[in-house]
Amino acid sequence: MDRRGFVRMGLAAGAAGMAASTDAAAKAGPGAVLDGGVQLQQELMAANKLTSHSLTSQYLARIRNIDKAGPRINAIIEINPEALKIAREMDRERLLRRLRGPLHGIPVLLKDNIATADRMSTTAGSLALAGVRAARDAHVVARLRAAGAVIIGKTNLSEWANMRSTHSVSGWSARGGLTRNPYSLDRNCSGSSSGSGAAIAAGLATLAVGTETDGSIVSPASICGLVGIKPTLGLLSRSGIIPIAHSQDTAGPMARSVTDAAHMLAAMAGADPADAATAGSQAADYAAALDRASLQGKRLGVARNFFGKNPDVDAEMAKALQVLQAQGAQLVDVEVPNVNKYDGTETDVLLYEFKSDLAAYLKEYAPNAPVRNMAELVEFNRKHADKEMPYFGQEYLERAAAKGGLDEQAYLDALANNQRYSRAEGIDQVMREHRLDALVAPTDGPAWLTDFINGDHYNASFSSPAAVAGYPHVTVPAGYVHGLPVGLSFVGGSYTEAKLIGMAYAYEQATRHRRAPQFPASVSPQPR
């Protein structure tokens, strides 16, 4: 969808909101408004019952009361000091009937590896970049601003997007500390978009942007009871995002509903002359895909080689599969082939590209940073080990620093291997052989206890096939295991976001599993 079409959609949404009854909205209390989504908030603003300034103010108060006090989620690493000013400008434009689209005046949080040319830093959680302001906005940030979004702050993350140590603790960074899971404060949010997941689960903004190389959107979304979309590589620009690897990195929406995620994806998608991968970007009106009948007649491959890791998760997934069938889908048991053939080569590619891509980012977006490349970052951490490495080391950074250039045959062979077995002899093969519309599987297991001694305790995850292939992946809440959220994944071929969003929406509307967290200190196992 082009810019003009996006604005038209926004104006239509605004007009519909003005015409619609606002009785339910008028009765909604402050909590319901903050936990509500784009549609409710826009309806209230269209009816002059809410302003962007008051909505932003309420979220900032909630951050003070929940994130920095009370349960102390610690999801927010920095507040935008210009947030209220931006919100007032969006209100002024609304009064002048200059609506930019569905996100006009809507508060949004960004993961702290996404560059903003404002008074906030962009650090990837590292003290090496503390206080460093980006030379310009990331492309996705520029598009969000153009769409009328109010950027209210940055979220904490696993430092360097969890590409620092083999024994890391997800959700911890030297700059931000530890983000805690709103569904059980002693448990992990997964990562690396930990703060984005925890913040939206706790209702600290309407929407958040995460980034993913392999699992960093869909895993924390699943574990925090959210909708997460990892788009096709190249649908969204990578420009201005602190990288791990250009062959797998992408930003994506994290939201409390499929509808909200669809609106956000539409706002961020589009070609960027600075990112050649976006030349084939096929942005669309993803809100048009929100059809309750979207599962009718669909052939879904149940990826059985991603089941059987946790009996309680499997029990929830069995219920999910029944819902899919009841909504008209035909289920076919399949196995995604060759998933073990790129375990090692995926890591090799990430290390090679991390070294090269980080240097390029620092040169262009952070030329005044105290480090200019991977070797200097490794040395910075050694000099500041008491603050940077109190719990775990930097094995991945050291291994990346030792890699050669992207012209080395070892890198080229590893990349070719990844793409062969994840695409043509992976997802493409199984979908073609079984004539599938999508693959489905549990996204991840439930949240694990945070453990600074042993590091993360990862569950079996369905993230890698789509991540390595660069294909889209949507996760949606699918129930609870001992009070902890789990998600159902929909994965498809390149640029099938609209189809996946439609199916995820139909499932979401048939189940409505998501419920707000209560911030317990811990959860107790429930008898079967």
* CA dihedral of 85, 89, 90, 93, whole degrees rounded to 10: 170
Catalytic residues: 111, 192, 216
Q: Which of 350, 398, 414, 356 is nearest to 212 (CA)?
A: 350
- Decide if 256 contacts 244 (C-beta within 8 A): no
Read off the amino acid at residue 151. I
CA distance 317 to 84: 43
Query: Residue 138 is which amino acid?
Result: A
Q: Tell how strand 150-155 and strand 107-111 pair up.
A: parallel
End-to-end CA distance of the chain: 48
Its sign, for the CA torsion 161, 162, 165, 170, is: positive
Q: How many residues does the chain have?
A: 528
Phi, psi of 291 (to 5 degrees): -125, 125
CB-CB contact of 114 with 125 (8 Å): no
The two structure tokens encoding residue 96: 């002048």
Closest CA to 476 of 256, 227, 219, 201: 227
Cα→Cα distances 453→244, 391, 392, 421, 491, Å? 25, 7, 9, 35, 34
